[in-house]
Amino acid sequence: MANEVMLIILFVFLVGIVLGYCIRARARLLRWVARMSNIALYSLLFILGLSLGVDDSLMANLPHIGLNALFLALGAIGMSLGCCYVFSKYAAGGK
pTM to 2 decimal places: 0.57
Q: How confident is the model at residue 95 (pLDDT cuts 50, 70, 90)?
A: low
Range of the domain at 13: 1-56
Is residue 51 domain-shared with residue 65, that is, in the same domain? no
Q: What is the pLDDT of residues 7-56, one digit of tens each?
A: 999 999 999 999 988 888 888 888 999 999 999 999 999 999 999 889 98
Q: What is the pLDDT of residue 49?
A: 92
Q: What is the pLDDT of residue 94?
A: 56
| Domains of the chain: total | 2
Is residue 47 domain-shared with residue 90, that is, in the same domain? no
Is residue 52 domain-shared with residue 65, that is, in the same domain? no
More confident residue, 72 or 58: 72
Is residue 37 domain-shared with residue 7, that is, in the same domain? yes
How many degrees, rounded to 5, is the angle at CA 22 between CA 20 and CA 23?
70
Is residue 45 domain-shared with residue 65, that is, in the same domain? no
11-40 in b/e burial notation, b at 16+ Cβ within 10 A?
A: eeeeeeeeeeeeeeeeeeeeeeeeeeeeee
Q: How confident is the model at residue 89 (pLDDT cuts 50, 70, 90)?
A: confident
Is residue 92 domain-shared with residue 66, that is, in the same domain? yes
Is residue 19 domain-shared with residue 32, that is, in the same domain? yes
Is residue 47 domain-shared with residue 24, that is, in the same domain? yes
